[in-house]
Structure 1
């Protein structure tokens, strides 16, 4: 597909006058930075076309994109920090669909958030990590009150999702990327986590709209604090999943600060075993995503044994791994 032709056609659907366009990356979306010449007006253009079929899902549908943007609009009116606010096209629509080479491509435009992408070095103090915990909590607090209509559609991160992650990893074993022995241990780990998830309740306190992709590249340090970007994988899941992803970004010794920051806003007991389960699922989902990328096969083959030794085996033996991975 001629993506240059595609984004040029999309730009005509908006009120841009003389924009410059810079490719950012092609991952779950193709993203461009759009800047109006002679001004500081800057936007993010997303073409919702994943780089591999392995990444396609309900989140790529027009209905799901529309729902994500509706959530961002609602969140922007409550958040004290910058939010990627959706921009309507000339027809007043949040989602723009163009047909290129007989294929529909759904696109959206968001206002740019100015700041620095965070890194591991930025999360090296109790204060910053605690602040991240509070930011995740504020997001969940809003989600608990968020009202949406019957047409609202986003992915769900429950049992069906965990099974799909395991299926993708199984294809890695079939391709010889993951050894049969290692895959059996992964399979046993999933089985234990499935047993734990079966008894988890889906109450307003535990289950709701989550970011589902908290990583360094999706945290922006702005002049006003830490903001979340890229809600492209957001959906309904256990709030513990976002907390677990936050924990994976921090040093072992600082993870209590993350939990402390979170519980200072949402006062409820945090189950460390649950966090361990979702930490594993977040890591496993990343490996599953990379399985379809041939350039990453050697990396997966090299790193899976470390996950087995340092997480799966202790986890299956009933040991606490939250502070060790």
Structure 2
């Protein structure tokens, strides 16, 4: 992949001998190249119009008061570079460090709630350009027979008893989400992957990065995504309440939305359980995946069926 990226460097005005370093391998590969961050897109996931649409939203978010995000950098081909059937995009680097589970998360979840609310307010009123297209994150594309990120039945270490339990919980979850609906007050353009690794901290500034999975989903799902991989952390109820406080300072959050937070957290956990299996070569899967994560999902499923994860209610 480094050879492919070297051929792309002149497109961004960089010499082919610019040092390259791999930063992350997840859904895509992220590389540092001189003063740029390059994202090499995985084949067969996003189309060029989908990638262009992500960057159109990111461009529209630049200089929005109270919000800092990554800045797309165009090359000679525009914002999306095509080389040998692969898509490459570039961003200006961001100062700071990724938020970590061991950090003082309570300090950051109110600002994260504010950032999320500002993203949602912008998305609600933004006139999307012609041809704007992004994936939907709904019942069918997460729990259906052909979901975007793979099916939970492929989870590592899942035995027949676990399949039965998770199937019951998924059916209950799907019924709750269908009743919740996808009307404009409930569902719209969201980041969809505000997990800790996509939040950069620099002093008192929190920056949301990596809009690669942005699409159309439930507004409150952005909170669920922020809790990715820490769903069993004992701090979770307090983090949820703090996020809700921050969000509510910027935009209203209906009681109905608050009531759905536990279901959306469980939905995200099921989605990640499938993703870790289908992306077993990613850095995240190597660090966090495997049968132990699947067992944690089954424990949450049992709690979801017994009390709807009531402890998570803000």
**In the comparison of the two structures, how many residue pairs are matched?**
299
| Residue 231 of structure 1, CA deviation | 0.7
Shift of 1:69: 0.6
Aligned to 1:227: 207
* CA displacement at 1:244 relative to structure 2: 2.1
The change in CA–CA distance for 1:236 and 1:123 in structure 2 (over 3 A counts) is farther
Matches within 5 A, 1:93-132: 93-99=78-84, 104-125=85-106, 127-132=107-112
Aligned-pair CA distance for 1:266? 1.0
Structure 1 segment 154-233 matched on structure 2, within 5 A: 154-162=134-142, 163=144, 164-165=146-147, 168-172=151-155, 177-223=157-203, 225-233=205-213
Please tell me the root mean square deviation across aligned C-alpha atoms, in Å: 2.5
Counterpart of 1:304 in structure 2 is 294
Larger radius of gyration: 1
SS of 1:204 mapped into structure 2: coil
Question: Which residue pairs with 1:15 in the alignment?
Answer: 13
Equivalence map 1:1-325=2 (5 Å): 3-17=1-15, 19-35=18-34, 42-49=35-42, 56-57=44-45, 60-91=46-77, 93-99=78-84, 104-125=85-106, 127-162=107-142, 163=144, 164-165=146-147, 168-172=151-155, 177-223=157-203, 225-247=205-227, 251-270=236-255, 271-293=257-279, 299-309=289-299, 311-323=300-312
Task: After superposition, give the CA deviation of every residue in 1:223-248 in whole Å (9 maximum; x if it has no partner).
Answer: 45111001111111011100222355
Q: Secondary structure at the match of 2:90?
A: strand
* Structure 2: gaps spanning 5 or more residues: none
Task: Give the alignment's TM-score, normalised by structure 2.
Answer: 0.86
Distance change in 2, residues 1:167/1:6 (3 Å)? closer
TM-score normalized with structure 1 length? 0.84
Q: Would the alpha carbon gap of residues 30 and 144 (structure 1) be closer, same or farther in structure 2, given more than 3 Å must change?
A: same
Q: Deviations over 1:140-171 (max 9, x none)?
A: 11111122134111110012212145962223
Distance 1:263 1:107 in 2: 37
On the 8 A contact 1:247/1:258 being kept in 2, the answer is: no
* Change in 2 beyond 3 A, CA 1:189/1:150: farther
- In 2 relative to 1, CA 239–123 (structure 1 residues): closer, same or farther, beyond 3 Å? farther
Is contact 1:81-1:225 (8 Å) kept? no
Query: For the residues of structure 2 that align with 1:261 and 1:121, how far apart are their CA atoms?
Result: 21
* Partners of 1:77 and 1:124 in 2: CA distance: 26
Q: How has the CA–CA distance of structure 1 residues 267 and 293 changed in structure 2, closer, same or farther, with 3 Å as cutoff?
A: closer
For the residues of structure 2 that align with 1:317 and 1:98, how far apart are their CA atoms? Answer: 52
Unaligned runs of at least 5 residues, structure 1: 36-41, 51-55
